[in-house]
């Protein structure tokens, strides 16, 4: 087993392997523990919700919006570091910064809740997708 790839602590054999790697790792080795990334259901819910926002609010402060741009706006408002840059031709913008694919399940659930709260405050209609919201620690 290669030590350069991630190992998921989802069964005892993987835990044993990780423990062995820790026991035999050279001094100065860095070990990183991360929570599981967002689920596929959460990803679908996020993009479905962003699409609903974009259809109901196709512009924001005069700027034509895409679901990707709405994602950047919401992630920035939620507290993630995001910078929006103008395109080379000056006809639009694109986001750079924290990627939603790096969110943990709990973070993604928080972001979805944040977007839903904004939608309710802004009077937008949102279709039902509670199952994806509830997958913070499942699976």
φ, ψ at 51 (rounded to 5°): -65, -40
Domain containing 58 equals 40-133
33/13: higher pLDDT? 13
- What was the pLDDT predicted at 96? 78
* Tens digit of each residue's pLDDT (9 = 90 or more) over 86-129: 889 988 877 777 778 889 999 999 999 999 999 999 999 998 66
- Into how many domains does the chain fold? 2
**CA 13 vs CA 18, 43, 55, 92: distances in Å:** 9, 29, 48, 50
pLDDT at residue 84 above 90? no
According to DSSP, the residues that pair with 97 across neighbouring strands are 82
Please state, in angstroms and rounded to a whole number, the distance separating the CA atoms of residues 47 and 29.
38
Q: In the structure encoding, which two tokens stand for residue 54, read together?
A: 């974009």
Q: Looking at the structure, do residues 47 and 92 belong to the same domain, yes or no?
A: yes
Please state, in angstroms and rounded to a whole number, the distance separating the CA atoms of residues 133 and 130.
5
Q: Looking at the structure, do residues 62 and 86 belong to the same domain, yes or no?
A: yes
Residue 77 domain-assigned (yes or no): yes
Residue 59 domain-assigned (yes or no): yes
Least confident span in 2-6, 59-63, 87-91, 113-117: 2-6
- With beta carbons less than 8 A apart as the criterion, state whether 136 and 105 touch: yes
pLDDT at residue 80 above 90? no
Residue 15 domain-assigned (yes or no): yes
Q: Looking at the structure, do residues 93 and 27 belong to the same domain, yes or no?
A: no
Residue 138 domain-assigned (yes or no): no
- With beta carbons less than 8 A apart as the criterion, state whether 135 and 42 touch: yes
Maximum pairwise Cα distance, the chain? 58
CATH number, domain containing residue 90: 1.10.3790.10
pLDDT at residue 17 above 80? yes
Mean pLDDT for 26-35 is 87
- Which pTM does this prediction carry? 0.69
Q: Looking at the structure, do residues 90 and 108 belong to the same domain, yes or no?
A: yes
32/66: higher pLDDT? 66
- What was the pLDDT predicted at 132? 41
């Amino acid at each position: 087993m290669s030590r350069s790839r991630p190992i998921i602590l989802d069964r005892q054999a993987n835990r044993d392997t990780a423990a062995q790697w820790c026991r035999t790792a050279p001094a100065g080795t860095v070990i990183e523990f991360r929570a599981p990334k967002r689920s596929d259901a959460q990803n679908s819910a996020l993009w479905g919700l962003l699409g609903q926002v974009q259809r109901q609010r196709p512009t924001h402060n005069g700027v034509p919006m895409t679901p990707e741009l709405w994602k950047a706006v919401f992630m920035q408002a939620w507290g993630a570091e995001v910078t929006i840059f103008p395109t080379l031709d000056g006809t639009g913008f694109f986001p750079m910064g924290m990627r939603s694919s790096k969110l943990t399940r709990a973070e993604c659930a928080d972001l979805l809740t944040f977007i839903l709260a904004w939608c309710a405050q802004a009077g937008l209609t949102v279709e039902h997708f509670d199952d994806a919201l509830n997958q913070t620690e499942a699976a």
